[in-house]
Amino acid sequence: MHRRWIALAIALTFSGMTQAHETPKTAAPAIEAGADDENLWLDDIDGAKPLEWVKARNAETVAKYAEGEDFKTLDARILEVLDSDAKIPMVSKIGDHYYNFWRDKQHPKGLWRRTTLAEYRKDKPAWETVIDLDALAASEKENWVWHGAQCLKPDYRRCLVSLSRGGADADVVREFDLSTKRFIEGGFSLPEAKSQVAWIDDDHIYVATDFGPGSMTTSSYPRIVKEWKRGTPLSSATTVYEGKPSDMSISAFRDLTPGFERDFVQRALEFYNSETFLRGKDGKLTKVDVPNDAETDVEREWLLIEPRTPWTVGGKTYPSGALLATKFDDYMAGKRDIIVLFTPDEHTSLSSHSWTRHHLILNLMRDVVSEIQVLTPASAGAWKSETLSGAPALSTMQAGGIDADESDDYFLTVSGFLQPTTLYHGTLGKGEREAIKHSPAFFDASRFVVSQHFATSKDGTKVPYFEIAPKAMKADGNNPTLVYGYGGFEISLQPMYSAGVGRAWLEKGGVYVIANIRGGGEYGPRWHQAALKANRPRAYEDFAAVSQDLIDRKITSPRHMGMMGGSNGGLLAGNMLTKYPQLYGAVVSQVALLDMKRYTHMSAGASWMAEYGDPDKPEEWKYIQTFSPYQNLHKGTKYPPVLFTTSTRDDRVGPVHARKMAARMQAMGFDASLYENIEGGHGAAADNKQSAFMNALAYTYLWEHLK
């Protein structure tokens, strides 16, 4: 009951180096043919003819942009960063050990490994390998990509490990024994599907998966969740809850906090619209009576509620974006004694929260810059509040509890555009935190300066953006400038160190800009809701305003300015290409939505109708068509050159969008390039080598056109 489904929205971070992962089926669902689409034949994702066409486009792109010495040097330098042993190995605590998933040159698919806290504090910890994914992939002749593990409290011996073929969202699930470091023969096991599993006890799990025809939603996620007993066939599992085909997904889990064990069922109707039920020992479901768009979190005796629209309850109205607390059992019994923990204002919003044993950490943003508050629960009345300080200007500081069952220990990271990440360890209420890990500097940051600016959008809204530029930059309009944005699903782009941006763009003398446009979460739910459905163009107007502000300030000019975005940001890129072509000298659109007329029939597209609308409804298609790049291409328009990148194995957005957009533009005589990685899922890369190539290709393309 945390920030559910966010992973389904994210494709690429602004750095272009952190990737999300996923998985596809062999072909996209059938789409009704129409005379308006000459490229429907490309919908056959794994068809011989479409793949032959894709390989020909790949060859053209590689020959033009990926065979020169500059490209090869950049590719190697980005890969050096990704494979570096000096990076901070971020960990999570499972039992007495701290676990990390690690990729490097010797282990391209990765190692799941563990160590102790005492070892982890050392410069070079001694790691114990738990699963060698490269060895497993070689022995099983599968291109396994790590999707994580869930381990059962309190002894943490049994784990449910998820592995993806080639990086798609769909994965296989296998039971694993942490003590023997072996998969359990005859243990819980699921074939490839977009499954959701969770432990109940040693001999039972909740499983939502593809149970056969009719068991999946139109969004391609499980519609039914069951309780499965060890040693019995999956077909004998008992149904716990069955949703509707139009729902987004159904799942269940047990909160295994000692003394507060509870079972929950979640029905996700759409993004930020769900129902949560408490499941009694008799199997009866009782709805947690909060608004469907509210986020909830249950920890021990407390229920936290984040309303996303104003909520009136118990005679009081609480604002959108607030954080509220109440005693869970009392609330379920009908009481409405609610404590306000956080109230947003025009500049400040809640980014996330995290529990320790006795405290609640709030990660806040004030004009997209971090602030941290530590709250201590009180049995009644206001909770005690203290500030966790220490963040440099224009940086990001994020804190999170390590083990809410046992301690008040926390990890804290501090990072900035020019400041490599530092990892701290501390215990709330017990002195100063200690810096235990430092990420190395991969480029000379002393040559650059970070500043924050505000552009005025078409409707008068002030839109923040960060600018990273050479100190010696002249405001003469000739600086190659790359503007990055996302603007969707309440995702925020905060200051973060990116060695890839440093090496690929800043070192060459370029200016890098992050646009915090509406549709994101920089100012909480209101910022997101301001660009939903019919209001989606507000995000594009914001991005155009930032771009124009850079021109007005003579930082750059259209000839030298490019933009890039991935997934929802790829849709942003498509719209900047088609609606504001005069502003840019080049565009890169990564793993993008582009055909908004048919997006709900492609891969997992039906799950995003709360964000964009339903194009099958004429009244909604009327506004969707205004921001559907594929339908808004026109002969005779002067478009900037554009590169579309995607992955055959992307079963979230799917490669069809990029294929068709490139094909239509090429047929119209426009300069459009395509590169489709055969592996990689929605992140477009299955390992560091592929990730380095994809990023080097994007930055090389932009530099060639903007320098």
Half-sphere exposure at residue 180, Cβ-oriented, CA atoms within 13 angstroms? 8
Closest CA to 652 of 568, 556, 586: 568
Amino acid at site 680: G
Amino acid at site 34: G
- Helix (H, G, I), strand (E, B), or coil: what is residue 504? helix
Where do runs of H (alpha helix) occur along 83-205? Answer: 117-120, 133-140
φ/ψ of 376, rounded to 5, equals: -115, 120
Q: Cβ(22)–Cβ(642) under 8 Å?
A: no
Q: Using alpha carbons only, give the angle 363, 364, 369 rounded to the nearest 5 degrees.
A: 115
Q: Cβ(86)–Cβ(441) under 8 Å?
A: no
Closest CA to 409 of 425, 398, 424, 388: 425
Q: Cβ(189)–Cβ(174) under 8 Å?
A: yes
- What are the C-alpha distances in Å from 460 to residues 531, 532, 538? 14, 18, 11
Q: Cβ(191)–Cβ(172) under 8 Å?
A: yes
Residue corresponding to tokens 């808004």:
632
d(C-alpha 692, C-alpha 78), whole Å: 5
Q: Cβ(651)–Cβ(603) under 8 Å?
A: yes
682 is catalytic: yes
Catalytic annotation, pick one of 220, 498, 547, 567: 567
All residues at 6 or more sequence positions from 169 whose CB lies less than 8 Å from its CB, including other chains? 21, 22, 23, 24, 194, 604, 651, 652, 681, 682
Q: How many residues does the chain have?
A: 707
Closest CA to 552 of 637, 640, 447, 454: 454
d(C-alpha 351, C-alpha 492), whole Å: 8
Residue corresponding to tokens 């007005």:
552
Q: Take residue 591 and report the two structure tokens written for it.
A: 């793993």
d(C-alpha 629, C-alpha 631), whole Å: 5
Residue corresponding to tokens 């290409």:
577
Q: Is 392 exposed, middle or buried (0-12, 13-18, 19+ CB in 10 A)?
A: middle
Q: Take residue 197 and report the two structure tokens written for it.
A: 């599993």
Q: Cβ(471)–Cβ(433) under 8 Å?
A: no
d(C-alpha 116, C-alpha 103), whole Å: 20
d(C-alpha 451, C-alpha 512), whole Å: 11
d(C-alpha 518, C-alpha 424), whole Å: 32
Q: Take residue 521 and report the two structure tokens written for it.
A: 């979460």
274's enclosing H/E stretch is strand 273-279
Catalytic annotation, pick one of 21, 147, 682, 705: 682
Say how many C-beta atoms besides its own lie within 10 A of residue 158's C-beta: 21
d(C-alpha 483, C-alpha 202), whole Å: 50
657 is catalytic: no
Residue corresponding to tokens 């409707």:
459
Q: Using alpha carbons only, give the angle 325, 273, 287 rounded to the nearest 5 degrees.
A: 60
Beta bridge partners of 267: 250, 275
User: Which active-site residues does the annotation give?
Assistant: 567, 682
